[in-house]
Amino acid sequence: MKGKDRTGEADRGKKEYAGQKYTIHKDKQAEEEGEREEKNQSKEEEEKRIEPDPSKDKAAQGACKPKKAKALKVVISDLEIQAYREHMAEHAVICKFMGLWPIERALCQWIKQQWKPKGDVKLHLGTEGFFTVVFMNLEDKDRVFDGGPFFFTSAGLYMRPWKPNFVPERETFTQVPVWICLFSLPIDYWGFSALKQIGDHLGTFIKASEATLHRRYTSCARICVEMDVSGALHEGLWLE
């Protein structure tokens, strides 16, 4: 009776076990690589969701952004506007306290105390500290404009005749109405025409005081001229 060869069976068993172990190891490695690929793929998809494509954003912005067109030119012809301008040019003055921006109640109180108007006064508040005073009584307007200078505490009052298309943000203070006293001016030059010619040589003549036109006080003639105060002012003038 021959004995069984146990050695051959053991070797076959070892080979089968080794092949099985290799297969398990290989399957596990493939599984890990698959998991890594899935993680990388999900990470790339997440980055794509978080970080939008700049080229697409620019295209979208360009599509949503309205195109600029040239400004429209509107020509308005209205008799009501013309009538309003004529009324304001006759009854209104534009004012501003330099370095001070009083509230409406304080302005109304100051006007009543300082100017003491006989008629009604309307106040239009604007930006940049400007305000427009509309006098229903023309005598009040002439008296206020001929008078001055006026101050609110230590702030001086800038005052000029009303003008159309006035925009406070564009107003500059290089051209300012100034009351000029003409001392030693011969009285025969106190007529309106002569005073206007003198004023136009200094700037833009606005008006002469009522006292000057009536030759009431002959110590000096007073004229209001819009002048460029950014440069040097004239010390005097010669008449020929």
Give 174's pLDDT tier (boundaries 50, 70, 90). Answer: confident
Res 134: pLDDT = 96
Res 232: pLDDT = 72
Angle (CA) 229-235-239 rounded to 5° is 115
Whether residue 240 is predicted with pLDDT greater than 70 in this model: the reply is yes
Whether residue 23 is predicted with pLDDT greater than 90 in this model: the reply is no
Q: What mean pLDDT comes out for the span 12-28?
A: 52
Angle (CA) 188-192-197 rounded to 5° is 90
Which residue carries 């970080």 as its tokens? 51
Res 1: pLDDT = 47
Q: What mean pLDDT comes out for the span 210-224?
A: 90
Mean pLDDT is lowest, of 15-24, 153-162, 172-181, for: 15-24
Whether residue 231 is predicted with pLDDT greater than 80 in this model: the reply is no
> What does the pLDDT look like over 49-100, one tens digit per residue?
555 555 555 555 555 666 777 777 777 777 888 899 999 999 999 999 888 8
Res 49: pLDDT = 57
Whether residue 2 is predicted with pLDDT greater than 50 in this model: the reply is no
Q: What mean pLDDT comes out for the span 161-189?
A: 85
On average, the pLDDT of the chain sits at 79
Whether residue 198 is predicted with pLDDT greater than 90 in this model: the reply is yes
More confident residue, 19 or 203: 203
Mean pLDDT is lowest, of 27-31, 75-79, 145-149, 164-168, for: 27-31
